[in-house]
Each structure stands twice: as structure tokens, then as C-alpha cells.
Structure 1
Amino acid sequence: MIVTTSRPTGSPGYTETLPRIPESAATARRLVRVAVAVWGLEELAEDGALVVSELVSNAVRYARCRSIRVSVARPGAGRVRIGVVDKSVKLPGLREPDGEDASGRGLLLVAGLAVAWGADPLPWGKRVWAELQGKGQDGGGR
């Protein structure tokens, strides 16, 4: 079920609770694409889809709970914040994978696409988030 909430920007935020399974990445990508289209920020759709895919993939791989929560908010003009909440208290960090690693590059991709990213500890888990900025909006992109 998608939940819409009011934000100080006057634009809604969207959240959806999804099962912690790999297939949830597709639903999360659709949520991001719909949100940016509603806000007229279609230019962020592909980067947003990549970012949410990586964040959901990490939650599926590392969290030990049945569900995750995906959120898409608009904290400012031309800016979109994508977040994934799970019940693991272990915070992610960038790492340099060696050339033979088949994985471990997701957060490097997120950091490259986002103007900011981070992880907020919660009493029962964490929120990993990334912000994307539209070109020509609030500072001219990344």
C-alpha cells in the first residue's frame, strides 16, 4: 500500500512497505518514477531508479526482517530524497572492492549519482538515504 503524506514543500511524499525480497526493487523503482513524474522531475527518473535499486538490494542482502520501507520525498525544489528503512542496526559504509569482487560497488554508485547520501541510525534499525538534484535547480545538478 502506497502512503502519501504532506511535506513542508507543499509536495507529497510517498512511502511503501515492501517484502524484503529481491523482486521489491522493481516496485521501488516504479514508486520513484511515479513520484518524480508527479513533481515534473522526470530527468531524475533513471538515476533515482538506480539509487533505489541499490538501496533495496543492500537491505535485502543485509537486513534480517520481513519487510523494508521505501520513501520518496521532495525536500526542496528540484531535489528528491530516496530512503530505505530496515531493522538492521549495522550502518553501511563505502568500501573499495578489489577487481575480482562481484559485488560491493552499490554504494559507490549511489555516492556518484547523489548530491548527498547517508545513513541515520534508528532505535530499531536504520534509514539509508540519497538525495538527487535536478539540473538547473538549486545549484545546478551534481
Structure 2
Amino acid sequence: MTITVRAGTHYQQRLAAEPAQIRRVRRITAALLRYWGWGEAVDPALVCVTELLANVDRHVRPSECELRLAASPSLVRIVVSDGSRTLPVLREPDPYAEEGRGMLMIAAVAHTWGADLTSYGKAVWVELHPAGQEAAA
């Protein structure tokens, strides 16, 4: 695990997306967002971080990934990059299934989200805006 905190409002960590690490990253994310003045974004950010990392744990082998957080006055951006080239899909889950709702949850709390193929896999990103501010079209 490698952690980088740059001056200002950027954070980067390489990790294995395993349950114990996800719990730890949730605490770090909450603390950083509060420190950066984004306390209102903690709950939706934790939903996004948890679901993005859980997807890596569930679908990517090895479960190595990189989490990046960045905050500006207008948004918080969360990016999880991994070695898989399979992009996430927003789909209607089977009502009886115990999984398959992660991207729906992210879409419900984020102002916008997306995924980009990279030279080493993919990067799934989420943007959160201040309460009451609509996302740019």
C-alpha cells in the first residue's frame, strides 16, 4: 500500500480492495473531506468509495487498485483505477439478488459518474457538487 497526500486537496493511495482496507479507506476519506471543508459530501462520498472498491474486490484479480480523491471549491472527484478493462454498467438488478446495486447507488448520490479505459485497465470516476448546486450539463 502506497499513500500520497499532496499539499492542498489531493489524496492518492494504492491498495488491495479487501474488506479491511475498504473500512480503513472509508475512515481516511471521511477525515480528509471534513478537513478540506467538504463535510456535507462525506456520506455520498463514502457510498461511492465503498461501492467502487467493493466492485474491484468482487470483479478484479488481483484486487490491486488506486484511489484518488481531489477537492476544489466546486466539486469532489473520486477515481478508482484498476487493471480490468471491463467497464461498469448501470443496470436494473434482479429484485431477489443480493448484489448488483452498486452502480445504481452511485448514480443516485453522485452528480455525475463515468468510466474511461486506460493503458493499464480502467478508471471509474465520480463527481460530487456542493449541496444545492446542479451538475454542469
TM-score w.r.t. structure 2 length? 0.89
Residues 1:31 and 2:28 aligned together: yes
Instruction: For 1:83, give the aligned amino acid.
Output: V
- Listed as ranges, the gaps of 5+ residues in structure 2 are none
* Matching residue of 1:95: 91
Q: Please give the residue correspondences for 1:63-78 in structure 2 after superposition, counting only pairs within 5 Å.
A: 63-74=60-71, 76-78=72-74
Residue 58, structure 1, aligned to residue 75, structure 2: no
Residues 24 and 56 of structure 1 are in contact (CA less than 8 Å); yes or no, is this contact kept in structure 2?
no
Q: 2:42 aligns with which of 34, 41, 45?
A: 45
Shift of 1:66: 4.5
Structure 1 moving runs of 4+ over 2 Å: none
Q: Which of residues 118, 124, 129 in structure 2 aligns to 1:128? A: 124
Corresponding residue number in structure 2 for 1:4 = 5
Structure 1 position 77, deviation (Å)? 1.1
Q: Give the secondary-structure state (helix, strand or coil) at the position aligned to 1:96.
A: coil
Give the superposition deviation at 1:140: 5.3
Q: What percent identity do the matched residue pairs reach?
A: 34
Give the paired residue count.
134
Secondary structure at the counterpart of residue 112 of structure 1: helix
In the alignment, the residues of structure 1 paired with residue 74 and residue 28 of structure 2 have an alpha-carbon distance, to the nearest angstrom, of: 17
Distance (whole Å) between structure 1 residues aligned to residue 79 and residue 41 of structure 2: 15
Alpha-carbon distance in 2 for matches of 1:85, 1:27: 18
Take 2:78 and 2:56, find their aligned partners in 1: how far apart are those partners?
14
| Alignment partners' CA distance in 2, 1:121 and 1:140 | 27
> For 1:131, what is the secondary structure of its paired residue?
strand
SS at match of 1:46: helix
Counterparts in 2 of 1:66 and 1:57: CA distance versus 1, 3 Å:
closer
Give the distance between the partners of 1:18 and 1:70, measured in 2 at CA: 8
Task: Give the aligned CA root-mean-square deviation in angstroms.
Answer: 1.6
Aligned to 1:22: 19
State the TM-score, normalized to the length of structure 1: 0.86
